[in-house]
Chains A and B, each alone.
Chain A
Amino acid sequence: MSLNKNQNLSKDTLKRGIEQLPTRDGYGHGLVQAGEKDERVVALCADLTDSTRTGWFREKFPGRFVEIGVAEQLLATVAAGMANYGKIPFIASYAAFSPGRNWEQIRTTACLNDVPVKIAGCHAGVSVGPDGATHQALEDLATMRVVPNMIVVYPSDAVEAQKATYEAAFNGKPTYLRFAREKTPVFTTEKSPFKIGRAEVLWEDRDPKVAIVAAGPLVYEALLAAKLLAKTKIGSLVINSHTIKPIDEQTIIKAAKMTGAVVSVEEHQVNGGLGSAISEVLAKNFPVPMEFIGMQDSFGESGKPDELLKKFGMKSTDIASAAKRVIKRKNS
């Protein structure tokens, strides 16, 4: 095992009994924590207060919670007005609707206006499961990262989600935070390092042949893939690139130089998301062969989360196969 000791990951990492929580819980806790720290923090929700975990904030600070109803364009624009006044508004809905429906409002009234609206896109990815394609946001990283002034963060577990939410409250910028519905392994701890904009190397073999750069809960699948690869004597790096924008160029370039091959992993369209962001960095600085794990330009469908991840090729075994493919390309 080559887990990076400096990361202070959970002692249960890669073990069967690891605790599981949804990243949206981290949002709920981070929001309350930020609210306790600073009374400028307010929370708005579009009729999904409990499932986005905004309800925890509402319970604690009822006077600082604003119910918007099923109106995501209003959600963004009212928040922009409040942020313009001096509040720190967090807006939550399912990512399919916000930022799915209100992209132009976010572009104009939050980003061009440069006011610190915090957008929590919940239930992102195919792992929403049975709700089906309408509710599976798979394009949000692309649509958010392309807008100037926007910060984009995709936490990998509930603990990291709480840290990301809290830090985002005080960064003074429009920020998109992406969360998932399903419970996923909690492998980072209070002591794990986290800073928006800085990727973390979670797994580091001696003489790594491939760098797996992942974001969101699939970071854990990437770790499982590294373990599989290690069994076949293939060394790798696993990087948690939780911040999609600004992407940590230095860490990615360094990993490409060290390994000469990269696999990107995200529960999102491979067009425009993390993989694209990495390939932009590498094409400009140090081009290496890449493989892209994620949705291959298709919509999702109903099913159990795990069935869907299998069907669309985002499990650890898929990542390990992609790693072998890209290593072969490097050597051909």
Chain B
Amino acid sequence: MDKLSPEELEIKANKIRKDIIKMLVAAKSGHSAGPLGMADIFTALYFNIMNHDPENPMWEDRDRLFLSCGHIVPVRYATMAHAGYFPMTHLKTLRKLGSDLQGHPERVRMPALESTSGPLGEGLAQAAGYAYAARMDGARFRVFCITSDGEHNAGNHWEAVMFAGKNKLSNLTSFIDRNNIQIDGYTENVMPLEPLVDKYESFGWHVLHIDGHNMEEIIDSVSHAKAVYEKPTVIIAHTIPGKGVSFMENKFEWHGKPPSPAEAREALHDLRTLGGKIRGEHE
């Protein structure tokens, strides 16, 4: 696929956010804040960073993207639809009976979904196992993993951090969606995670941290990670949960629920007008 420029990526991410809102309101259930917050990173991955081919989803040399925090999968579905993996109209089947767009992703239902996830704290270990196996065979592709900050409460996750550090899995790049919220509140109240940078460094990782809404920083961080040959890299991406919809931004209440139809109209207006800064094209 042709790579989009940072400016083009921003426009694409905004479209993807609108589709996330439409999907969630049609599904009448699901998570709002996380998918909106990660729209920029998913857009950058699928439209600039990753080697992949929507025409040949199981292409052997594709980069692998493991989504550990499966609850934000609407952003992945929306991004994959925009990339041409399946028709856009299919997004409306999210969470509906018989759909391959399950509420939490299932590998066997859709090509290139790479893993089944939702129960938290398990994704990095699977990505690390995959990266380890791929390195045994001298495979050249990169394994990406996206984790949430909340799932850093889980022991299984830190076991994987140890494993990847021990084995110097430099073909593994992990993003943390550092949005500071989880279901029960702010991460630092639920179970403090800081100092995250020190923790990862002491476990043998290379650590970067970026503004998760800045396309240039997202792209540059991965280029940087690719240049690190002796360690796995974690990119701590500071994001705003609910990004782009002013009444959702930074509110943990929006972690696990969809917008109502009225809220969705307001959200779409917000996205069209970039928070009221510009005139919406249809208004």
Interface residue from B114, B126, B163 paired with A68 (Cβ < 8 Å)? B163
Question: How distant is B162 from chain A, measured CB to nearest CB, in Å?
Answer: 8
- In residues 71-127 of chain A, which contact B (Cβ within 8 Å)? 71, 73-74, 77-82, 84-87, 89, 104-105, 108-109, 112-114
Question: Does B119 reach chain A (CB closer than 8 Å)?
Answer: yes
Question: How distant is A248 from chain B, measured CB to nearest CB, in Å?
Answer: 27
Question: Does A17 reach chain B (CB closer than 8 Å)?
Answer: no
Distance in angstroms between the alpha carbons of A95 and B72 in the assembled complex: 34
Interface residue from A42, A64, A74, A85 paired with B130 (Cβ < 8 Å)? A85
Interface residue from B106, B116, B125 paired with A78 (Cβ < 8 Å)? B125
Residues of A within 8 A of B114 (CB): 84
Question: How distant is B53 from chain A, measured CB to nearest CB, in Å?
Answer: 19
Q: Is the CB of A84 within 8 A of B159?
A: no
Q: Is the CB of B132 within 8 A of A66?
A: yes
Question: Does B182 reach chain A (CB closer than 8 Å)?
Answer: no
Residues of A within 8 A of B159 (CB): 69, 71, 73-74
Question: How distant is A41 from chain B, measured CB to nearest CB, in Å?
Answer: 12
Q: Is the CB of B133 within 8 A of A105?
A: no
> Which chain B residue lies CB-closest to A115?
B107
Residues of A within 8 A of B134 (CB): 85
Question: How distant is B73 from chain A, measured CB to nearest CB, in Å?
Answer: 14
Can you identify 9 A-B contacts, CB atoms within 8 angstroms? A63-B136, A73-B159, A77-B160, A78-B125, A80-B126, A84-B115, A84-B130, A89-B129, A108-B119
Interface residue from A64, A66, A73 paired with B155 (Cβ < 8 Å)? A73
Q: Known contacts being A81-B129, A108-B122, A113-B116, is A74 close to B107, with CB within 8 Å?
A: no
Question: Does B108 reach chain A (CB closer than 8 Å)?
Answer: yes
Question: How distant is B138 from chain A, measured CB to nearest CB, in Å?
Answer: 12
Question: Does B156 reach chain A (CB closer than 8 Å)?
Answer: yes
Question: How distant is A120 from chain B, measured CB to nearest CB, in Å?
Answer: 17
> Which chain B residue lies CB-closest to A71?
B159
Interface residue from B106, B125, B131 paired with A74 (Cβ < 8 Å)? B125
Q: Is the CB of A77 within 8 A of B122?
A: yes
Would you call the interface of chain B mostly helix, strand, loop, or mixed?
Answer: helix
Question: Does B127 reach chain A (CB closer than 8 Å)?
Answer: yes
Question: How distant is B172 from chain A, measured CB to nearest CB, in Å?
Answer: 10
Distance in angstroms between the alpha carbons of A81 and B123 in the assembled complex: 9
Q: Is the CB of B163 within 8 A of A112?
A: no
Q: Is the CB of B115 within 8 A of A42?
A: no
Interface size on A, residues (CB 8 A): 27
> Which chain A residue lies CB-closest to B114?
A84
Interface residue from B126, B131, B133 paired with A87 (Cβ < 8 Å)? B133
Q: Is the CB of B115 within 8 A of A113?
A: yes
Question: Does B36 reach chain A (CB closer than 8 Å)?
Answer: no
Question: Does B118 reach chain A (CB closer than 8 Å)?
Answer: yes
Question: Does B33 reach chain A (CB closer than 8 Å)?
Answer: no
Question: Does B222 reach chain A (CB closer than 8 Å)?
Answer: no
Residues of A within 8 A of B163 (CB): 68, 71, 74, 78
Extra contacts besides A84-B130, A113-B115 (13): CB < 8 Å:
A71-B159, A71-B162, A74-B156, A77-B122, A81-B115, A81-B130, A104-B119, A105-B119, A108-B118, A109-B116, A109-B122, A112-B106, A113-B107
Question: How distant is A80 from chain B, measured CB to nearest CB, in Å?
Answer: 5
Q: Known contacts being A63-B136, A82-B129, A84-B126, is A73 close to B116, with CB within 8 Å?
A: no
Distance in angstroms between the alpha carbons of A68 and B181 in the assembled complex: 31
Q: Known contacts being A63-B136, A113-B107, is A77 close to B129, with CB within 8 Å?
A: yes
Interface residue from A42, A78, A86 paired with B126 (Cβ < 8 Å)? A78
Distance in angstroms between the alpha carbons of A81 and B136 in the assembled complex: 13
- In residues 42-69 of chain A, which contact B (Cβ within 8 Å)? 42, 63-64, 66, 68-69
Q: Is the CB of A78 within 8 A of B107?
A: no
Question: How distant is B54 from chain A, measured CB to nearest CB, in Å?
Answer: 21
Residues of B within 8 A of A82 (CB): 129-130, 132-133
Residues of B within 8 A of A63 (CB): 136
> Which chain A residue lies CB-closest to B167?
A66
Question: Does B237 reach chain A (CB closer than 8 Å)?
Answer: no
Q: Is the CB of B160 within 8 A of A74?
A: yes
Distance in angstroms between the alpha carbons of A74 and B129 in the assembled complex: 9
Distance in angstroms between the alpha carbons of A114 and B106 in the assembled complex: 10
Question: Does B50 reach chain A (CB closer than 8 Å)?
Answer: no
Residues of A within 8 A of B127 (CB): 81
Query: For B107, B126, B127, B156, which residue has the most chain A Cβ atoms within 10 angstroms?
Result: B126
Question: Does B128 reach chain A (CB closer than 8 Å)?
Answer: yes
